[in-house]
Amino acid sequence: MRYERLGRLEIPKVGFGTWSIGGGSSPNRRKDSWSLASLRSALELGYTHFDTAESYAAGHCEELLGRAVRESGTDRARLFITSKVKPENLTPDRVTKACERSLRRLRTEYLDLYLIHWPNPGLSLGGAFEALNRLVRSGKVKHLGVSNFDLQLLQQSVGLSETGILTDQVPYSVMERSYAANGVVGYCQANGILVTAYSPLEQGGLRASQPLAGIAQARSLTAQQAAIAWLCSQPRVITIPMSGDPLHQRENLAAADVMLLANELELLG
């Protein structure tokens, strides 16, 4: 597994996204067996970065992730767990309470990374960061970040965070380049901020272009692996694909070690 290194911190190029674990926007407990099996498989295969949010299955996703970690016997210190606060909770008091609820559901004493999930133009970004900075000072959160922030909001966040912004988590893939076009990807790469690419496989809807299919065939990869390798070959970019299939989970992990050549990257644009 290749890593992105920021100071003493090492984050795997490929982590595990948990959207759909435990349900969608609301809990679906009929999916618990599938969800737990997916998480257990990921832990057994060696995934260490798990990305969740308070809005995933209305918190049930966090509960299941915490349960899977406990039952696996995995040392918490080996894991890098990310969660996110909802935009409606971006007041100082609500941020603190939201984080505490996430910690209880995950049954962990701290989050490695806590993100603002979406911007909320109706609430003060400065007020949210007052609470987020306090969470870092208290040790309940190790690092801060944002998600779905454009360049202007990202730059504002950099100025408001006492400990810097670790990442902007955005939709980014061979098919989705809007955050490259709006300057976020380039700004992050130039300023030591990670781009965390979500939906790297378009939630199963990836269409293999001729160049992507050609690279996959030449490298003995699936098109999905080639798409993940495209992301992992870029500096300061990590990604969090999700799959409940152990084979696909293994393939996604393996793709992190595929370094595309300059001419292959050029073919993909």
Q: How many CB atoms lie within 10 A of CB 142?
A: 17
Q: How far apart are the first and last CA of the chain?
A: 25
CA dist., res. 82 & res. 89, Å (int): 17
Closest CA to 153 of 201, 178, 120: 120
Helix, coil or strand: residue 183: coil
Helix axis angle, 246-255 to 32-45, nearest 10° = 40
* DSSP line for 118-147: S--TTS-HHHHHHHHHHHHHHTSEEEEEEE
Among 56, 114, 179, 198, the active-site one is 56
CA dist., res. 257 & res. 250, Å (int): 12
CA dist., res. 145 & res. 123, Å (int): 17
Helix ranges restricted to H, 24-117: 32-45, 60-72, 92-106
CA dist., res. 152 & res. 263, Å (int): 33
CA dist., res. 162 & res. 133, Å (int): 6
Q: Is 56 a catalytic residue?
A: yes
> 200-223 burial, b for 16+ CB within 10 Å, e for fewer?
bbeeeebebbeebeebbeebebbb
Whole-angstrom CA distances from 212 to 216, 250, 267 are 6, 20, 8
Question: Which residues does the annotation mark as catalytic?
Answer: 56
